[in-house]
Every structure is written in C-alpha cells, then in structure tokens.
Amino acid sequence: MLKKFSLCAIALLLSACSLSSYIPFVNKEKAVIELDKTAIDQKSYAVAYETTVQSYTDRVGQDYDVNSFTSGVNDWYLGRILVPVEQIKQNLNQGMNDNSVYAYYSGVIFAADLQANFSRLSATCWDNIDRPSMTQGIYDAMRDLQKNQVRSENDEFLTQGSEQLLQTCQGK
C-alpha cells in the first residue's frame, strides 16, 4: 500500500514539475499574455502601459528578460506568490546572479507596488481593474521599451484610458 502511494506521489510530483505553462523562465519565445484587442479594458491597459514606461525607461535593454518580468507580474495578479513582498525585496537587494530570476521577482514587486498605488486612489479602485489587461499593458510596454519604440504620451487610446481610470477611481 505504501509503495503504491509513493509511486503515485512521485508521478504527481513529476507531472507537476513538467507543467511549462506555469514555470517561469521556460520559453522566452512564447508570449506571456496575448489578449485579443476586444478583450482589453482600456483604463487598466493604459495606466499599466504608461506606468511601466515611466518606471523602466532607460532600464530595459535588448538582453532584459521581459517574459520573466511579465510572468512575475502575472503570477502576482493571479495570487500565485505566497512569499511576502518585503522578503522578496530583501532577496533582490542581496543580489541575484540569474537575470531571469531577478527579472521575475522584479515583476512581482512592480505588480505589488502598482496594486498598492491603486488602493491609495480609493478603497475600491483596485476592484475596478482588469488584471489581464494590466498584465498586457505591462508586457506591451516592456517589449516596446526593449525595441525603443514606446507609444507617444499623446496616444489617444492611452490618454482616454487614463481619464477613464481617474473618473472611475475618484468618482468624478
């Protein structure tokens, strides 16, 4: 009986470890998120895109692991991160040699900080945010920064989305 249980446990462990859809750093060629344009919430996307560009301009080069960064963002928004953010920040400050791991946890911290900022606008602001659209906005901004081709500050889609968010979160 114990032998059967052990074999089942090992089989489950091996199958869980082979799930490449969840494991970060596995496939740099595959997009982390690719929402259909009709599924994107304009206000969530716009604010995420603009905030990412402001935060990471001149910090993202050709070799920056954008997919790992965005996987960290996505995992935070999906509630997959169980380690306290302060502990992650301490670990990052101690230095990490692996660029993919560093990028991943930088994404986690960025997503957590962004979520906290929404909560400062109003108590219910974060409830009105579409997390997949946020992740898509961050991902697109990071890829655009990497190509040095960010959208204009006057981009109509981004401007309207930011205004929508202010109206939603400030109740005006």
| Position 36 in a domain | no
Domain count for the chain, please give it.
Answer: 1
Neighbours of 97 (CB within 10 A): 6
CB-based burial label for 9 (10 Å; 0-12, 13-18, 19+): exposed
What's the confidence (pLDDT) of residue 39?
Answer: 93
Q: Which domain holds residue 55?
A: 41-170
Look-up of token digits 């400030």: 170
| Position 129 in a domain | yes
What's the confidence (pLDDT) of residue 23?
Answer: 46
Residue 49 near residue 137 (C-beta atoms within 8 A): yes
| Position 6 in a domain | no
pLDDT tens track, the chain, 172 positions = 545 444 444 444 444 443 444 445 444 567 788 888 999 999 999 999 999 999 999 999 999 999 999 999 999 999 999 999 999 999 888 876 678 899 999 999 999 999 999 988 888 999 999 999 999 999 999 999 999 999 998 999 999 999 999 999 886 5
What's the confidence (pLDDT) of residue 22?
Answer: 45
- Three-class HEC string of 40-100: CCHHHHHHHHHHHHHHHCCCCCCCCCHHHHHHHHHHHHCCCCCCCHHHHHHHHHCCCCCHH
| Position 118 in a domain | yes
**C-alpha distances out from residue 60 to 56, 81, 128, Å:** 6, 24, 29
Residue 82 near residue 172 (C-beta atoms within 8 A): no
| Position 13 in a domain | no
Task: Please write down the long-range contacts of 15-22, taking CB distance under 8 Å and 24 or more positions apart.
Answer: 22/80
